[in-house]
Amino acid sequence: MDTTEIRTQIKEVIANATSIDVADIADNSSFEDDLGLDSLTLLEIAVDVDHIFKLNIPDEELSERLQHLRTVQDSVDLVVNHRSHKNVGV
Amino acid sequence: MDTRVVITGIGLVTSIGIGREMFWENVLSGKSGISEVESFDTSAYSVHKGGEVKGFSHGPFVKNIDSDHIGRASQFAIAAARLALEDAGVAPDDINREATGVSMGTTSGEPNQIELFDDCCVADETNQVSPYFISSYPCHYIAGHVAAELSLMGSNMMIPTACAAGSFAISHACDILRNGRAQMMLAGGADSFSRITYSGFARLLAIAPDKCQPFDKNRKGMMPGEGSSMVVLEPLDLALERGATIYAEVAGYGLSCDAFHMTGGHPKGDGAVRAMEQALAESGTSPDDIDYISAHGTGTKSNDFHETVSVKRVFNKAAYDTPISSIKSMLGHTMGAASAIEAAVCSLAVYYGQIPPTINYEEPDPDCDLDYVPNESRQQKVRLAMSNAYAFGGTNASLILKAYEG
Amino acid sequence: MNRRVVVTGAGIISPLGDSPQAVFSSICEGRSALGDVTLFSTDLMDGAQAGEIKDFLPQPYLGKKNFRPLDRTGRLTAAAVQMTLDNSGWTVEMREENLVGLILGTMFGGLHTIAEFDRLGLTAGPKFVKPLDFANTVINAASGQTAIWHTLRGVNSTISTGGSASLQALAYGMDLIRSGRSDVLVSGGTDELCFESMYGFYRAGMLAGSISGQSACSTPFDIQRNGFATSEGAAFTLLEDHQFAVDRGVSTQAEILGYGSGYDYSQGKDENIAVKARAQAIQVALDDARLTADQIDIVSASANGSKLNDRYEAMALLRCIDLENVPVMAVKSSLGDSLGASGAMQVVLLIEAMKQSLSPGIQTMSKADPDFSMLENNIQNRPVEIRYALANAVSADGNCCAVVLKNISDE
């Protein structure tokens, strides 16, 4: 799965968690400022992304990761980095 | 308020003791009720502890109704109700049935029953769902079963306002008595441990891995628990007439809503402040008069900070002179039972002149700089005690109990 | 303090429509809310029918917003409360200035959300349960969500007493205003149609036709009745201190005069106790309203087709009310039983009955039990001038609540 596909899937996750149209989610949209998401929604997005991409982020790390998840791009980077780190193909 | 309402009996089912005496002795000695969760498998979770009530048997308590088809919270509630009546010196057969009611709170009702339902669904055995599911799951059956067990025809309420439910139930019971709709009320709250509740809080990253440390600098979260507390409430004149022991008088209460966030409080504690102010106004007291605050004190970074801010907003300088402790440090968060247990604690603090500690307090947090009664209980005259509770859904309750002085 | 409590607005969402007038007309025209269920399969329930609000969407009521945080129960609540606030003139600005409370009656809250949350934990593991769904697993979730949605910062409470929940909520709200603790609040109830509750009722043999060999008859008081039909919906009234309403120049529809409540501690097993508990609640309501039974012009019954509970209610009413002459409406005959929402629906429709001077008939009834055969007088719609009305709601296990209302549209 390339970065574009990852980005598309993540935008769908965000759309499901927020009822915001995928078309209205820009690559660099900020979760809080642009999309108006609260902490609970952000957590749900992180959990869904973890589930879909099988990141297996331990709970102990999740809290910290959430602090750095500010934009759509941050979540794409999270997936890309995690997958390359684990040498996951496709 | 014309009719004065007093607490004349207290019954408790908790992880640190069944019954008022055992509970009070243990809560003053700072006993922890936290242990490894046994009621379900936590190996797939990153946390494993909670405040389960271990070894509870409903046998001695559920005598009149069929105990096979009632949930755990109902069992707790019936036990606590019977213990409260016994503590009040009221024989169940002597109760005026038409004039005695039940007012209770809960967060989840009987979640174990929907869990059984779901177990069937997931195992593709939906047709095995129990025919008793629908008469054991709905939360109003908790209050209903207490009434059925004790043959009580009076007003029967279930107010599931989550973590503030006990206070809502007790304050409602007071209103019922003040309005002359009953001569005695059993009021309190009950909740049972469940994987649903545990999973949810674990998913919110809200559960502490080892212990609950309210107001501590390194606090890591709350600890799910379970239990029940029921109090006997009566109009003062009736209590005096029968020579009842009066633990405390209900002086006033306040209820409010943040209308801000479902699981987090208002950033400036607006709702919490209003609830405290209403309770103070109704009881005709000022913050300087309050000798002890039973905190909501869940042990999460957020609650304990915001609660401290709210208390300071209402109490100003007096906040620094008012001991404030959280028994959730010992019991964990017993959900709908919590504020009912805390009302019992305030009543006993007032009656005995003793204040329970906040245990596991190791390092002060500069942002939480009040006197949290760290680790050791205290002998201190408590004329007025305030109990605060803040719930999911942003609903808040403050209850003030005062010493009965004639 | 003993202030007067008045109704200045109402809202309803039901399978028969989303305005009090529309629902009332439907009932008077003999329409039924019951039909095939599309939300879930009823294969395990012999294809039992239920009252489903087909194609319910919150957008027409609440605008285009993010509805993910709200589940069906939350959406129904927020939508019905919006209409209630609108037609009582409580604007957003006014709600920001004043503390408006919300008292929500519900039997189950978001039961479907609770179950789905749990089942996902079982199948995908606890790591992947949904945080937004967890917020809705507490029974007071819809009340909290709606308060956020509509800036309702007064007392926020949830009452769960089974089928009597939203009438108990009304009584609770009335006490808050009467005593001076609140000036204004929204009170009512919601329950959603979901597989879990409907199947639960089916497994217990409580649904009409769920005992094999019987064809379903959920007509209240009918001699052939064999259970109830589940339904869903939300209904609310805006309650205010009378003087407050007068000062802001709004028209008042009805006054809540008093209530009584109690519990059948036999939980339906002993007719004497069952009838006594119901009758006591009704008598206390009359006493609280300072009325005698002969002043009641109409009764809105809780009856839903349950063999025993309908009988208990009829026998209790017989003790207090002249059922030969006083019309009895039983809206669950048309709407089905919307559980925690039903009491509030009864009140909203009673107010409509007051406006139209008409008691809607129980049109599917052919014959009632001999002990209360006079209820057959209510098969057709009955014209009636209504000054005082009695609403009665009782849960399956016997949690009773009776409320007395007064028509003050001429004040």
| pLDDT per residue as tens digits for the range B253-300 | 999 988 888 887 788 888 999 999 999 999 999 999 999 999 999 999
Q: Assess whether pLDDT exceeds 70 at residue C134.
A: yes
**Catalytic (active site) residue B163:** yes
In this structure, the dihedral spanned by the alpha carbons of residues A69, A75, A81 and A84, taken in order and rounded to 10 degrees, is: 150
> Which residue, among C165, C166, C158, C177, has the nearest Cα to C7 in the 3D structure?
C177
Please answer yes or no on whether B155 and C109 come within 8 Å at the CB atom: no
The 3-state DSSP composition of chain C as helix, strand, coil percent (nearest 5) reads 40, 20, 40
Q: Class of the B5-241 domain?
A: alpha beta
| pLDDT per residue as tens digits for the range C44-101 | 999 899 999 999 999 999 998 889 899 999 999 999 999 999 999 999 999 999 999 9
Nearest CA in chain A to C129: A47
In three-state secondary structure terms, C377 is helix
Residue B262 contacts A, CB cutoff 8 Å: yes
Q: How many helices (H) and strands (E) does chain A have?
A: 4, 0
In three-state secondary structure terms, B67 is helix
Per-residue confidence band for C163, with pLDDT thresholds at 50, 70 and 90: very high
Task: At B98, list the tokens.
Answer: 């038409």
The residue of A47, A50, A56, A57 whose CB has the most chain C CBs within 10 angstroms, and thus the best one to mutate to test that interface, is A47
**Cα end-to-end span (Å), chain A:** 5
The residue of B66, B98, B125, B161 whose CB has the most chain C CBs within 10 angstroms, and thus the best one to mutate to test that interface, is B161
In this structure, the dihedral spanned by the alpha carbons of residues A59, A65, A70 and A76, taken in order and rounded to 10 degrees, is: -90
> Which residue, among B315, B273, B310, B272, has the nearest Cα to B291 in the 3D structure?
B315
Please state, in angstroms and rounded to a whole number, the distance separating the CA atoms of residues C283 and C260. Answer: 7
Give residue C166's domain range: 5-254
Inter-CA distances, C45 with B128, C212, C364, Å? 13, 11, 23
Please state, in angstroms and rounded to a whole number, the distance separating the CA atoms of residues B224 and B202. Answer: 9
Instruction: List, as ranges, residues 30-59 from C with C-beta within 8 Å of B.
Output: 44
Inter-CA distances, B303 with B4, B280, B393, Å? 33, 22, 14
| pLDDT per residue as tens digits for the range B99-145 | 999 999 999 999 999 999 999 999 999 999 999 999 999 999 999 99
How many angstroms separate the CA of residue C159 from the nearest CA in chain A?
26
- Residues facing B230 on adjacent strands: B11, B188
Please state, in angstroms and rounded to a whole number, the distance separating the CA atoms of residues C12 and C349. Answer: 9
Q: Which of A59-68, C74-83, C214-223, C382-391 has the lowest mean pLDDT?
A: A59-68
**Cα end-to-end span (Å), chain C:** 22
- What is the residue-wise DSSP string for C304-358? -S-HHHHHHHHHHHHHHS-TTTS-EE-THHHH-B-GGGHHHHHHHHHHHHHHHTE
Please state, in angstroms and rounded to a whole number, the distance separating the CA atoms of residues B77 and B97. Answer: 18
Instruction: List, as ranges, residues 159-218 from C with C-beta within 8 Å of B.
Output: 159-162, 165, 168, 172, 175, 179, 181, 196-197, 199-201, 203-206
Q: Assess whether pLDDT exceeds 50 at residue C402.
A: yes
Rounded to the nearest 10 degrees, the angle between the axes of helix C141-150 and helix C72-87 is 40
Question: What is chain B's mean pLDDT, rounded?
Answer: 96
C240 and C117, same structural domain? yes
Confidence (pLDDT) at B264 = 79
In this structure, the dihedral spanned by the alpha carbons of residues B62, B63, B67 and B72, taken in order and rounded to 10 degrees, is: 0
How many angstroms separate the CA of residue B30 from the nearest CA in chain C?
30
Rounded to the nearest 10 degrees, the angle between the axes of helix C111-124 and helix B195-203 is 80
| pLDDT per residue as tens digits for the range C294-352 | 999 999 999 999 999 999 999 999 999 999 999 999 999 999 999 999 999 999 999 99
**Catalytic (active site) residue B296:** yes
Q: Assess whether pLDDT exceeds 80 at residue A84.
A: no
Could you give the angle at the alpha carbon of C116 between the alpha carbons of C115 and C120, nearest 5°?
120
C249 and C360, same structural domain? no
CB B105 within 8 A of CB B165: yes
Q: What ipTM was reported for this prediction? A: 0.97
Per-residue confidence band for C399, with pLDDT thresholds at 50, 70 and 90: very high
Name the phi and psi angles at B388, rounded to 5.
Answer: -115, 140
Please state, in angstroms and rounded to a whole number, the distance separating the CA atoms of residues A23 and A12. Answer: 10
Confidence (pLDDT) at A87 = 53
Residue A74 contacts C, CB cutoff 8 Å: no
| A19 chain-C contacts, CB cut-off 8 A | 65-68
| A40 chain-B contacts, CB cut-off 8 A | 204, 261-264
Chain centre distance of CA A33 = 16
Task: At B124, list the tokens.
Answer: 């593709």
Per-residue confidence band for C409, with pLDDT thresholds at 50, 70 and 90: confident
User: Which of B205, B262, B264 minimises the CB distance to A59?
Assistant: B205
Helix (H) or strand (E) holding C407: strand C399-407
Please state, in angstroms and rounded to a whole number, the distance separating the CA atoms of residues C225 and B384. Answer: 57
| B249-402 maps to CATH 1.10.760.10 | no
| B181 chain-C contacts, CB cut-off 8 A | 261, 284
Domain end marker among C254, C276, C297: C254
Chains with 3 or more CB pairs under 8 A to chain A: B, C
Q: Output the domain CATH number for residue C344.
A: 3.40.47.10
Task: At C59, list the tokens.
Answer: 């957008």
User: Which of A38, A40, A60 minimises the CB distance to B46?
Assistant: A60
Please answer yes or no on whether B263 and A63 come within 8 Å at the CB atom: no
Region A66-73: mean pLDDT is 89
Please state, in angstroms and rounded to a whole number, the distance separating the CA atoms of residues C320 and C323. Answer: 9
Please state, in angstroms and rounded to a whole number, the distance separating the CA atoms of residues B404 and C142. Answer: 39
Report domain extents, chain B: 5-241, 249-402
C217 and C69, same structural domain? yes
Task: At C129, list the tokens.
Answer: 């349960």
Please answer yes or no on whether B261 and A38 come within 8 Å at the CB atom: yes
Q: How much of chain B, in percent, has pLDDT values that exceed 90?
A: 94
Confidence (pLDDT) at C343 = 98
> Which residue, among C114, C354, C147, C143, has the nearest Cα to C256 in the 3D structure?
C354
Confidence (pLDDT) at A1 = 78
Best CATH choice for the domain A3-85 from the list 3.40.50.880, 1.10.260.30, 1.10.1200.10, 1.10.3720.10: 1.10.1200.10
User: How many domains does one find in chain C?
Assistant: 2
Residue C69 contacts A, CB cutoff 8 Å: yes
Please state, in angstroms and rounded to a whole number, the distance separating the CA atoms of residues B284 and A11. Answer: 55
Helices (H), C88-231: 92-97, 111-124, 131-135, 141-150, 165-178, 195-203
C343 and C211, same structural domain? no
Please state, in angstroms and rounded to a whole number, the distance separating the CA atoms of residues B300 and B222. Answer: 6
- What is the residue-wise DSSP string for C190-214? EE---HHHHHHHHHTT-BTT-STTP
Instruction: List, as ranges, residues 10-29 from A with C-beta within 8 Å of C.
Output: 16-20
Q: How many CB pairs under 8 A join A and B?
A: 19
Question: What is chain C's mean pLDDT, rounded?
Answer: 96
Confidence (pLDDT) at A20 = 87
Please answer yes or no on whether C138 and B115 come within 8 Å at the CB atom: no
CB C48 within 8 A of CB C33: no
Q: Which residues contact C403 (CB under 8 A, 6 or more apart)?
A: C167, C170, C171, C174, C256, C258, C259, C285, C347, C390, C391
Task: At B237, list the tokens.
Answer: 């004149």
Region B232-261: mean pLDDT is 95
In three-state secondary structure terms, A3 is helix
Please state, in angstroms and rounded to a whole number, the distance separating the CA atoms of residues C313 and C39. Answer: 32
Please state, in angstroms and rounded to a whole number, the distance separating the CA atoms of residues B169 and B155. Answer: 12
C41 and C175, same structural domain? yes
Helix (H) or strand (E) holding C96: helix C92-97
Please state, in angstroms and rounded to a whole number, the distance separating the CA atoms of residues C239 and C85. Answer: 10
Q: Which of B145, B296, B306, B346 is catalytic?
A: B296
Per-residue confidence band for A86, with pLDDT thresholds at 50, 70 and 90: low
Confidence (pLDDT) at C212 = 75
**Catalytic (active site) residue B120:** no
Q: Which of B398-402, C210-214, C275-279, C324-328 has the lowest mean pLDDT?
A: C210-214
Confidence (pLDDT) at A89 = 46
CB C68 within 8 A of CB C89: no
Secondary structure, 3-state, C32-91: CCEECCCCCCCHHHCCCCEECCCCCCCHHHHCCCCCCCCCHHHHHHHHHHHHHHHHCCCC
> Which residue, among B385, B91, B397, has the nearest Cα to B258 in the 3D structure?
B397
Per-residue confidence band for B395, with pLDDT thresholds at 50, 70 and 90: confident
Confidence (pLDDT) at A90 = 44
| pLDDT per residue as tens digits for the range B145-172 | 999 999 999 999 999 999 999 999 999 9
Residue C391 has what DSSP assignment? E
Per DSSP bridges, beta strands C254-263 and C399-407 are antiparallel
Please answer yes or no on whether B205 and A47 come within 8 Å at the CB atom: no
C184 and C44, same structural domain? yes
Region B218-243: mean pLDDT is 98
User: Which of A16, A18, A47 minimises the CB distance to C128?
Assistant: A47
CB B246 within 8 A of CB B257: no
Residue A41 contacts C, CB cutoff 8 Å: yes
Q: Is the dihedral of CA B299, B386, B394, B312 positive or negative?
A: negative
Per-residue confidence band for B393, with pLDDT thresholds at 50, 70 and 90: confident
Please state, in angstroms and rounded to a whole number, the distance separating the CA atoms of residues C105 and C169. Answer: 5
Per-residue confidence band for B249, with pLDDT thresholds at 50, 70 and 90: very high
User: Which of C66, C67, C130 minimises the CB distance to A47?
Assistant: C130
- Whole-structure pTM value: 0.97
Per-residue confidence band for C241, with pLDDT thresholds at 50, 70 and 90: very high
| pLDDT per residue as tens digits for the range B54-77 | 999 999 999 999 999 999 999 999
Task: At C383, list the tokens.
Answer: 């014209």
